[in-house]
């Protein structure tokens, strides 16, 4: 990689004021001020700065192996930096302007920026599982697969649990962890929420390096001995877990890559459970569980147990109606039962009627809408648009050609969009090549379409869809009648896919 050009070399660019590091809010800001300082100091070459640093470090007694090279010095000045080596930056400052007070200001600025970034990336790790979820229902097949994975004899069993928002991934992982611990106790437990889908945009997905530092502290390593660098921390963590029967739960992973660095060594014998709304197919080797909604019987059993004592009212099938309106989705059922317990004087029939009214008005409970909106926010704008337009489809399922017609795009782009939505568990595959919505996701997407997509654009999308179906029907009829000598007519209809351009 070529070294960055020395900054500010144009004749009319002159920096006469000493840059103030105290105004910096990021590493990129600090790197910008470092480039200005270089020019202010007479724009010495990277070789000159390197020689000054190595001379000072040798005088301080540093070993020869710690001497810096020209490319390392040049990298400090590179634009768009997201990290800086504090020790090296301070040495560069001392080489450019060895004023004690000014160097101290840079030290303070570096600590302030590092502190802000660390606060944003801070994550809490735990040495125990969360309390076992009350009223855990069903999931017998999934629990059997997790038990099989734990006992499969592989050195480091990993189970990847994926599914849509509110499907109960964390509840399953926590319940399974408690059940497996009762059957054969773990010596150590590590649990962390990786914040892959936090509704607060300021709470970004957890930095694996920060997670590993937390793990090392729980494994007995003093904070001052924890090394910098992802790979060194990962190696130390694997070494500390070696030979230990441990349970590691990586909840809410944003990507397989975020989780992969946190997996123990292949010889450790630890069981790792990873949950995510995204596909974890790339996490290998692993047992992969794609979770579905409750069966009607499981949903009814959940309701029967959690709302015991609430009068049924006039409709003996009220609980079944509630389960149906919740789409058998565990999160929706949990929110509804909380509402039931908080509404005195209502019967289950009253609550079933309320859900019927909300369904006809295409409205979701707030918690369910929030869960879907978090997944939605992680999509690109074109993928969000496709999701909303698909919710306009009047039928129970659709193909990539129908999706292309709705979105006004080509077939390849539509297929890629459908694949992304399916991997994010916002669409289900009814049969190969045909996709469908969970009805709560459809309600969310339809609400978003009416709120965010102009009426004219919605009408145009449906017109393209109907034109596509008309053209397909005409082609089918013409193909059939072409074998009928008595047929003397042909139907014609334009197919929007034949003249589609990307929008």
- 382 vs 491: which has the higher pLDDT: 382
Instruction: List the CATH number of the domain containing 213.
Output: 3.40.50.300
N-terminal to C-terminal alpha carbon distance within the chain: 38
Q: Are residues 165 and 234 in the same domain?
A: yes
Q: Are residues 143 and 277 in the same domain?
A: yes
- Is the per-residue pLDDT at 403 higher than 90? yes
pLDDT band, very low/low/confident/very high, at 400 (cuts 50, 70, 90):
very high
233, 262, 290 - which closes a domain: 290
Closest-CA residue to 465 (of 495, 428, 442, 437): 495
**What is the structure's pLDDT at 396?**
79
120, 144, 163 - which closes a domain: 120
Is 12 a domain residue? no
Is 249 a domain residue? yes
Q: Are residues 130 and 276 in the same domain?
A: yes
Is 420 a domain residue? yes
Instruction: List the CATH number of the domain containing 430.
Output: 1.10.10.10
pLDDT band, very low/low/confident/very high, at 251 (cuts 50, 70, 90):
very high
Q: Are residues 69 and 114 in the same domain?
A: yes
265, 290, 315 - which closes a domain: 290
How far is it, in rounded angstroms, from Cα 141 to Cα 129? Answer: 22
- Segment 354-383 shows an average pLDDT of 74
Q: Are residues 116 and 132 in the same domain?
A: no
pLDDT in tens, 427-483: 877 678 889 887 778 888 888 888 888 888 999 999 999 999 888 888 877 777 665
Q: Are residues 279 and 158 in the same domain?
A: yes
- Is the per-residue pLDDT at 417 higher than 90? yes
Place of tokens 């008309």: 470
Which residues touch 367 (CB under 8 Å, ≥6 apart)?
331, 335
CA quadruple 9, 15, 16, 17: dihedral sign: negative
Whether the Cβ atoms of residue 73 and residue 92 lie closer than 8 Å to each other: yes
How far is it, in rounded angstroms, from Cα 95 to Cα 55? Answer: 10
How far is it, in rounded angstroms, from Cα 195 to Cα 198? Answer: 5
- Is the per-residue pLDDT at 197 higher than 70? yes
Q: Are residues 258 and 198 in the same domain?
A: yes
Is 3 a domain residue? no
Number of domains observed in the structure of the chain: 4
pTM of the entire predicted model: 0.60
pLDDT band, very low/low/confident/very high, at 320 (cuts 50, 70, 90):
very high
Is 65 a domain residue? yes
Q: Are residues 282 and 414 in the same domain?
A: no
Specify the 3-state DSSP secondary structure of 229.
coil
pLDDT in tens, 23-65: 777 778 888 888 889 888 888 998 999 999 999 888 888 887 7
- Is the per-residue pLDDT at 370 higher than 70? no
- Segment 386-411 shows an average pLDDT of 92
**What is the structure's pLDDT at 267?**
60
**What is the structure's pLDDT at 440?**
74
Whether the Cβ atoms of residue 334 and residue 354 lie closer than 8 Å to each other: no
Is 8 a domain residue? no
**What is the structure's pLDDT at 387?**
93
Q: Are residues 495 and 391 in the same domain?
A: yes
Residue 460 is encoded by which pair of tokens? 């145009």
Q: Are residues 277 and 155 in the same domain?
A: yes
Is 4 a domain residue? no
**What is the structure's pLDDT at 329?**
85
Q: Which range among 131-140, 177-186, 356-365 has the greatest average pLDDT?
A: 177-186
Q: How far is CA 435 from CA 20, 378, 419, in A?
A: 57, 21, 10
**What is the structure's pLDDT at 423?**
79
Is 6 a domain residue? no
Work out the mean pLDDT of the chain and round it to a whole number: 82
Residue 188: which domain range? 125-290
Q: Are residues 170 and 284 in the same domain?
A: yes
Q: Are residues 421 and 483 in the same domain?
A: yes
pLDDT in tens, 325-349: 888 888 888 878 877 887 888 999 9
Calculate ∠ Cα 168-169-171, nearest 5°.
Answer: 65
């Amino acid at each position: 990689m070529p070294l960055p050009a020395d900054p500010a070399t144009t004749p009319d660019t002159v920096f006469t004021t000493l840059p103030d590091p105290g105004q910096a809010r990021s590493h990129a800001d600090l790197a910008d001020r470092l480039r200005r300082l270089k020019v202010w100091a007479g724009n010495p070459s990277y070789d000159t700065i390197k020689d000054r640093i190595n001379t000072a470090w040798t005088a301080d007694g540093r070993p020869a192996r710690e001497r810096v090279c020209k490319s390392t010095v040049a990298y400090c000045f590179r634009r768009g930096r997201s990290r800086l080596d504090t020790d090296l930056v301070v040495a560069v400052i001392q080489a450019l302007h060895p004023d004690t007070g000014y160097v101290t200001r840079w030290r303070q600025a570096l600590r302030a920026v590092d502190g802000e970034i660390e606060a944003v990336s801070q994550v809490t790790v735990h040495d125990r599982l969360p309390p076992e979820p009350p009223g855990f229902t069903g999931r017998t097949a999934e629990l059997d697969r997790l038990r099989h994975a734990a006992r499969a004899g592989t050195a480091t069993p990993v189970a990847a649990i994926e599914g849509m928002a509110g499907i109960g991934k964390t509840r399953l992982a926590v319940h399974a962890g408690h059940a497996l611990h009762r059957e054969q106790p773990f010596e150590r437990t590590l649990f962390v929420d990786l914040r892959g889908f936090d509704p607060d945009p300021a709470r970004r997905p957890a930095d694996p390096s920060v997670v590993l530092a937390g793990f090392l502290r729980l494994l007995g390593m003093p904070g001052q001995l924890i090394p910098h660098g992802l790979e060194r921390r990962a190696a130390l963590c694997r070494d500390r877990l070696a030979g230990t029967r441990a349970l590691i739960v990586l909840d809410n992973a944003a990507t397989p890559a975020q989780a992969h660095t946190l997996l123990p060594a292949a010889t450790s014998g630890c069981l790792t459970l990873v949950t995510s709304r995204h596909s974890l197919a790339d996490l290998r080797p692993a047992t992969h569980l794609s979770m579905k909604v409750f069966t009607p019987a499981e949903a009814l059993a959940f309701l029967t147990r959690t709302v015991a004592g609430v009068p049924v009212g006039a409709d003996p099938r009220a609980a079944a109606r509630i389960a149906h309106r919740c789409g058998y989705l565990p999160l929706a059922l949990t929110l509804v039962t909380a509402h039931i317990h908080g509404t005195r004087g209502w019967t289950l029939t009253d609550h079933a009627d309320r859900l019927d009214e909300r369904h006809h008005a295409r409205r979701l409970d707030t918690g369910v809408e929030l869960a879907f909106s978090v997944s939605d926010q992680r999509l690109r704008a074109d993928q969000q648009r496709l999701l909303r337009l698909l919710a306009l489809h009047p039928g129970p399922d659709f193909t990539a050609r129908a999706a292309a017609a709705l979105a006004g795009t080509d077939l390849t782009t539509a297929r890629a969009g459908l694949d992304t939505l399916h991997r994010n568990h916002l669409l289900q595959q009814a049969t190969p090549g045909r996709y469908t919505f969970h009805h709560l996701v459809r309600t969310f997407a339809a609400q978003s379409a009416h709120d965010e997509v102009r009426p004219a654009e919605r009408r145009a999308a449906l017109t393209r869809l109907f034109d596509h179906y008309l053209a397909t029907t005409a082609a089918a009829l013409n193909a059939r009648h072409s074998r009928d000598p008595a047929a003397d007519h042909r139907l014609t209809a334009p197919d929007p896919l034949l003249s589609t351009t990307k929008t």
